[in-house]
Chain A
Amino acid sequence: MTARQPARVVGKAAGRLATMGPGFGYLTVFLLVPLALVLSYTVFRRGRFGGVVYEPTGENFTRLADPLYLDVVIGSVRLAAITTLLALLLGYPTAYMIARLPARWKVVALVAVVLPFWTNFLIRTYAWIVLLNSEGPVNSGLKALGLGTVDLLYTDGAIVAGLLYAYLPLMILPLYSAVERLDPQLREASANLGARPARTFWSVTLPLSLPGVLTGCVFVFVPSLGNFVIPELLGGGRRIMVGNLIRDQFLKARDWPFGSVLALAVIAVLVLLLFAQAWAARRAGRGA
């Protein structure tokens, strides 16, 4: 080693820092600092008008075990999981077909998938209220067919429908890129070795697109779990999801410490999920 090398290494590191620095700085300040605050609030008593009193306590965590709150967390995970599963079942065939379209139509299809994002999220959610209410087009149609009206709005089904509508594109896009990346010759090799198209899908296409499946699932599950607008508008407040609970703790009940504990619970679920995803992606992607 020559004496000049350490200087060069330092120079390289400085260059990297200068390139990544601004982005990392922004994330550090505006993600980590609030996160650290939330974490620290979990162990203190609530202030009377919000905020915290710096007296250590464990009771915020014991409250989480209260069935009242635990049910909300479990119920939220359940709705988010159902949404994710439906998004996968609907999104995979869509992504698969888009990946096999001619190049020109691919662009058209992908633009169509993200098109809903160009309209305000709230407006689109209100549109669902119009669609699903007892006088809405869906029920009018059912009535016209002589099937009577069904309570669609303010149900778990309405929440799932709204979440699915909001986040389906986040499932389709990573799936599309995973399927699109697959060497088409692998499908041909499978057929050449005697596999019917369905077998080729189960044995070759699906396992090799698993990293995309996992990414899509995380992209849908994470915002679904934390969402509080859709449960409120389409669930009509009858079903409280953990997102609503957290918001209410901070803004209505003014119990910041318990709100922080709930937020921490959500973060814990997501971190577990991310670890599972990373592990599965490493397994599936090994050698791909």
Chain B
Amino acid sequence: MTLISIDGVSRRFGEVTALDSVGLDIRQGEFFALLGPSGCGKTTLLRILAGFEQPDAGSVRLDGADLLAIPAHRRPVNLMFQSYALFPHMSVEKNVAYGLERERLPRAEIRERVGAVLETVGLAAQARRRPHELSGGQRQRVALARAIVKRPRLLLLDEPLSALDKKVRSEMQLELKRLQHEVGITFVVVTHDQEEAMSLADRIAVMNGGRVEQVDAPVDLYERPRTPFVAGFIGANNLFTGRVTGKGLEVDGLGVLPAPAGSEEGGTAMLAVRPERIRLGPVTDGEGVLRGRVVDVSFYGGVSHLALSVPGHDRAVLAATQGRARVEAGAEVAVSWDAADAALVDGVSGDRRA
């Protein structure tokens, strides 16, 4: 069931187009992510959903009703700010109670709900502290508690993990997922960090230059990028641009590379091969697709990353292997992959090479 329906939303700031005819559907109860580099329009879209910004064109509907006609303070939408925006002059419990007091709920109910939500985020003992007496992770929990205690239809999270150090980050990541499951609120997280988006979200909208490039589940986004931007942005990828032929993708200087069928022959396309799909073998005549020389080997424990220089290709080809690499820097290797393991992306224009 669709909760939020965004259609043809555009917003310009002077000469800058922040959003260019954006269309999206967000489903009831899902964990949705808006992912893109800074300046892609994701924050503007978030601010439009919260009511801090009005689009120049387009519509936003919540349960079929026009959301844009409702002022910010009456929307069933709460936002967890990136800076947390906790009220510094109020204690933790006052911060959390603030939203419920605005609904003019009975005092007893407010006290009960504030207590319950502080219990949920593990801050019951800090209820009387001021925000400046808390750690970064605790402040974030207060911000989260303050937003979910209102039981909104939609919870917006602006870069929820960016300000936390690594250890607290992974804790919070698990906690966000648990909470989302527990409270059943639709979450929309805005982030520039693909790991954050991939690990948290059920579905991700990748945005670039004010447009939505692709909306998909994390796995589909990773395995079947549909635009050159997504292929280059999500994860590490080896990208080759060339012409589609019956046998594969013909690339200047490299020959015909194995590629899945399905694209129109003669068209320009981009081939994306994940490092972990690259196979390396001994150099013997007729074997492999490309010849390369190992320039660098990095061992990460579970995996090793190799960088290969391939004559005719201006970027290093990246390969990943399980465990330690069996080749050393300087070795000549044959590089190959299965056509089915690669993704072919249409719609490459000359100036949009990733």
From 250 to 288 in chain A, residues with beta carbon under 8 angstroms from any chain B beta carbon are 284, 286-288
Number of interface residues of B (CB under 8 A): 26
From 185 to 219 in chain B, residues with beta carbon under 8 angstroms from any chain A beta carbon are none
A contact residues around B89 at 8 Å (CB) = 207-208, 284, 286-288
Tell me the interface secondary structure of chain A in the complex. Answer: helix
Contact A287 B132 (CB under 8 A): yes
A194 at interface (Cβ–Cβ under 8 A)? yes
Complex: how many Å from CA A284 to CA B51? 30
Given known A-B contacts A188-B85, A204-B87, A286 and B52 have beta carbons under 8 A apart: no
Given known A-B contacts A204-B87, A207-B89, A193 and B102 have beta carbons under 8 A apart: yes
B contact residues around A183 at 8 Å (CB) = 83, 85
Contact A194 B150 (CB under 8 A): yes
Contact A191 B73 (CB under 8 A): yes
Given known A-B contacts A287-B130, A287-B132, A196 and B73 have beta carbons under 8 A apart: yes
B99 at interface (Cβ–Cβ under 8 A)? yes
A28 at interface (Cβ–Cβ under 8 A)? no
Complex: how many Å from CA A288 to CA B90? 10
Contact A193 B131 (CB under 8 A): no
Contact B88 A208 (CB under 8 A): yes
Complex: how many Å from CA A47 to CA B131? 61
Contact B50 A192 (CB under 8 A): yes
Given known A-B contacts A183-B83, A207-B89, A193 and B78 have beta carbons under 8 A apart: yes
Interface residues as binary, A174-206 with B (CB distance below 8 Å gives 1, 0 otherwise): 000000000101101111111111010001100
From 300 to 325 in chain B, residues with beta carbon under 8 angstroms from any chain A beta carbon are none
B72 at interface (Cβ–Cβ under 8 A)? yes
B233 at interface (Cβ–Cβ under 8 A)? no
Complex: how many Å from CA A217 to CA B98? 29
Contact B85 A186 (CB under 8 A): yes
B contact residues around A188 at 8 Å (CB) = 50, 52, 72, 79, 81, 85
B146 at interface (Cβ–Cβ under 8 A)? yes
Interface residues as binary, B141-181 with A (CB distance below 8 Å gives 1, 0 otherwise): 00000100010000000000000000000000000000000
Contact A199 B85 (CB under 8 A): no
B352 at interface (Cβ–Cβ under 8 A)? no
Q: Which residue of A lies closest to B99 (CB)?
A: A193
Q: Which of B86, B88, B99, B103 has the most CB atoms of chain A within a 10 A radius of its CB?
A: B88
Q: Which residues of B contact A (CB under 8 A)?
A: 50-52, 72-74, 77-79, 81, 83, 85-89, 98-99, 102-103, 130-133, 146, 150
Q: Which residues of A contact B (CB under 8 A)?
A: 183, 185-186, 188-197, 199, 203-204, 207-208, 284, 286-288
Besides the contacts A192-B72, A207-B89, what 9 more A-B pairs have beta carbons closer than 8 Å?
A185-B85, A190-B98, A191-B73, A192-B79, A193-B102, A194-B74, A195-B98, A287-B132, A288-B89
24 A-B contact pairs sorted by A residue (CB < 8 Å): A183-B85, A185-B83, A188-B50, A188-B79, A190-B87, A190-B98, A191-B51, A191-B72, A191-B73, A192-B51, A193-B99, A193-B146, A194-B74, A194-B99, A194-B102, A194-B103, A195-B98, A196-B73, A197-B73, A203-B98, A208-B87, A287-B89, A287-B130, A288-B89
Q: Which 9 A-B pairs have the closest CB atoms?
A: A194-B102, A193-B99, A287-B132, A189-B85, A185-B85, A287-B130, A287-B88, A191-B72, A288-B88
